[in-house]
Amino acid sequence: MVTRTFAKTLAVLSAATLSLSLAPRDAAAQQAADIPAGEAPKPTTPRIHHAPIASAEPGTKLVLEASFEHAELIRNVLVVYQTSLGEMKAVPFQRGGERGYIAVIPGEAMKAPGIGYTIEVEQTNGTRVSAFATRKQLHPVSVIEDRTDARERAALSRLGGRRSVVGVSGEYVGFGTTTGTTPIPCAAGQPTCQAGEEVLPSVDEQYYRVEASYTYRPLRTVSEFGFRLGLVRGWSLVSLSAFNEERYKVGLNFGSARIRFRLLDLWHLETELLTSVTEIGFSVGFGASTLIGDPYGSKLILGFESIGLGDSAPFGNRFYSRLDLVAGDRVLVSPIVEVTDMPNAESYGVRLLGEVGITLGRGFSVQLRGGYQARRSTSGGPGFGGSVLYAF
């Protein structure tokens, strides 16, 4: 009896324990069934990580680096930049660099005073947004200008942006009557003396010169270079063994090339090579001058020119000094002293000249000169001339 009662009690306890252990699982299953199905995460906006650059060197390509978040949403990324001339250009980002992507702005765009740029993202849905700066407010990059470039830009601005100069000029020079110091025999066929007669030569010494020129101004270490073409015609007391009036006629057809170097800001050196054909043959010449001061303002010029080097036909030498003085915004006054035996004279003479340069505007300028010269203290003559220049 007792045994039977104990068995019933044990069966009841076991059933109760089983029902209690199954109840929580059924409840959890019921709650999970009541939760709605989860949704896919919504796409986010792509982001660009970029360290901006504030300055760069002129003529050197600029490399911009960036990293992207959610690159799967990006179709294209561009760097839109504005040059120093105001031109808008664009370059794409491509894989590379430490951050994952790079864009390269070419070196020819890197000119002073600088550029500005923005980064634009084109998404896969067609939307384009500015990820860094904007086209209206570009991020500036200062280009550190080379000193030579800065000097060239300042000089060119001062010259009104005009690098080339063309000009024409002319000059008349009269030395008066020049008489020789030693008699020479008269040549045959002379209208003023008999053949073999001793004659003290005398010539009304004078000549004229006309030329055309072209100059280009790089304004760097080579400050200028240019070319001249011209001719000289006149009369001069040439050293002769016999008196012949026709032999006192002198002439020169010449062409020359010159170049000016900037040694310092206020010190320039100019050299010139000249070739010519004279009345007695082919001739080669050379000249040089130094400019101390402002090359396009007040300065002192000391120079020389010699035609007839080596075995070539002689035509003479000249040594000169010139002081350019700025007398106003448009006026330059220049006293000139020259010692010369040109054209092919037997003795040196001295020339004292004054020149006035006037800037007319629109690239035009004129120069007027006048003075006096002589080879003997007892005789001399006037000199005058001028030139017209156009810069562009």
Q: Where are the domains of the chain?
A: 47-145, 152-391
ω into residue 113 within 30 of 0, thus cis? Answer: yes
pLDDT by residue, tens only, the chain of 392 residues: 444 544 454 454 454 444 444 444 554 445 545 656 555 555 578 999 999 999 999 999 999 999 999 999 999 999 999 999 999 999 999 999 999 999 999 999 999 899 999 999 999 999 999 999 999 999 999 998 888 888 998 999 999 999 999 999 999 999 999 888 889 999 998 888 988 899 999 899 999 999 999 999 999 999 999 999 999 999 998 888 899 988 899 999 999 999 999 999 999 999 999 999 876 778 899 999 999 999 999 999 999 999 988 777 788 999 999 999 999 999 999 999 999 999 888 889 999 999 999 999 999 999 999 999 999 888 899 999 999 999 99
Give the pLDDT score at 273.
97
Predicted local confidence at residue 287, as pLDDT: 97
Cis peptide before 343 (omega within 30 of 0): yes
Determine the Cα–Cα distance for residues 293 and 244; give it in Å rounded to an integer. Answer: 48
- Can you tell me the distance from the alpha carbon of 208 to that of 30, in angstroms, rounded to the nearest whole number? 122
Q: Give residue 285's Cα distance to chain centre.
A: 30
Q: For residue 147, what pLDDT is reported?
A: 85
Query: Do 313 and 327 touch, CB atoms closer than 8 A?
Result: no
Q: Which residues pair with 125 in a beta bridge?
A: none
Token pair listed for 234: 């006149």
Residue 207's beta-bridge partner residues?
Answer: 173, 234
HEC string of the chain equals CHHHHHHHHHHHHHHHHHHHHHHHHHHHHHHHHHCCCCCCCCCCCCEEEECCCCEECCCCCEEEEEEEECHHHEEEEEEEEECCCCCEEEEECEECCCCCEEEEECHHHCCCCEEEEEEEEEECCCCEEEEECCCCCCEEEEECCCHHHHHHHHHHHHCCCCCEEEEEEEEEEEEEEEECCCCEEECCCCCCCCCCCEECCEEEEEEEEEEEEEEECCCCCEEEEEEEEEEEEEECCCCCCCECHHHHEEEEEEEEEEEEEEEECCEEEEEEEEEEEECCEEEEEEEEEEEEECCCCCEEEEEEEEECCCCCCCCEEEEEEEEEEECCCCEEEEEEEEEECCCCCCCCEEEEEEEEEEEEECCEEEEEEEEEEEEECCEEEEEEEEEEEEEC
Under CATH, to which class is 152-391 assigned? Answer: mainly beta
Q: What is the pLDDT of residue 36?
A: 61
Cβ atoms 242, 201 nearer than 8 A? no
For the chain, the C-alpha Rg in angstroms (whole number) is 45
Is residue 217 within 8 A of residue 224, CB to CB? The reply is yes
Q: Which two tokens stand for residue 7?
A: 């068995």
CA nearest neighbour of 102 among 131, 133, 68:
68
Q: CATH for 47-145?
A: 2.60.40.10
pLDDT confidence of residue 26: 52
- Tell me, what's the pLDDT at 333? 98
- Tell me if 241 sits within 8 A of 213, measured CB to CB: no
